[in-house]
Structure 1
Amino acid sequence: MGSVRKASAWLGLVEDNNDDDRYYDDEYAEEAGDPWVTDPRVRVASESAQDQGRRIATITPDGFRDARGIGELFRDGIPVIVNLTSMEPGDAKRVVDFAAGLTFGLRGSIERVATRVFLLTPADTQIVNGESSGRFQGGFFNQS
């Protein structure tokens, strides 16, 4: 099935005659409640942090089907740390591609913070690099 036909089938414009369920799992669709609240692989800050707008989610997906949770959190304006260290390389690449498209579409940014660990930040979030040139030079650990 070609890319255009796949996209059309995904949008519901044409009938999908392909029985390939790589992108959708019935068990995942039947889960009740918020998937990132009950899923032990996902942690979101407390309600008080939510009130102050200081929430960050960390997600360690097992497969590409967990990309939906990443997208929902990011779409709600929550920065997401995605840890892909436990995934197969092929699925990890698909999640990175999805995250790159997600951040581009919502005008956010994606940054690699470690090997196979990425930070997705919404458009209204500023990333502060800890290695600024204006840092205090006579610091506590200066042994000269």
Structure 2
Amino acid sequence: RYDATDEQWEGLAQVVPLRGRDEWPSRIDHRTVPDERAVEQRRLVVLRVQVFADAREVAEYLVAQVPVLLDLTAAETDVAKRILDFSSGVVFGLGSGMHRV
């Protein structure tokens, strides 16, 4: 596991918090106003998981509304699937979303 700070990722991509279920657009031309908290919360955590026990740490960051980049390359295939399934359940329960990078 290692944490990434804004300085390490500056200029590579804009990190934004996951949107809640009520913040999804109701029509195609709908635009949301950026939340001031979102500007303050430009933090990203990169987690390289290897065992299923690491899924708890993933969930803790997600519950704290910290965007997580999940690196599954170090985990065995069956463990990676379990971690992804668990993380998907946490994301669904929080009403958030996830994307493959």
Cα offsets for 1:88-124 (capped at 9, x unmatched): 00000000100110110001111111xxxxxxxxxxx
Q: Distance in 2 between matches of 1:98 and 1:110?
A: 13
SS at 1:78's partner residue? coil
For 1:77, give the aligned amino acid: Q
Residue 73 (structure 1) aligned with residue 33 (structure 2)? no
Q: Which has the larger radius of gyration?
A: 1
| 1:101 corresponds to 2:92 | no
Whole-angstrom distance in 1 between the partners of 2:4 and 2:56? 16
1:42 CA displacement: 2.5
Pairing 1:83–2:43 present? no
Question: Which residue in the other structure is 1:11 paired with?
Answer: none
Q: CA RMSD in A?
A: 1.5
Q: d(CA) in 1 for partners of 2:2 and 2:91?
A: 19
1:18-29 correspondence runs (5 A) = none
Runs (4+) off by over 6 Å: none
Q: Which amino acid aligns with 2:42?
A: R
TM-score, normalized by length of structure 2? Answer: 0.64
Unmatched tracts of structure 1, length 5 or more: 1-40, 114-144
In the TM superposition, what is the alpha-carbon distance from 1:71 to its structure 2 partner? 0.4
Aligned residue pairs, count: 69
Residue number among 19, 24, 43 corresponding to 2:3 in the alignment: 43
Question: C-alpha displacement at 1:44, in angstroms?
Answer: 4.1
Residue 64 (structure 2) pairs with residue 63 (structure 1): no
User: Residue type matched to 1:45 in 2?
Assistant: T
| Bigger helix fraction | 2
Work out the percentage of aligned pairs sharing the same amino acid.
Answer: 35
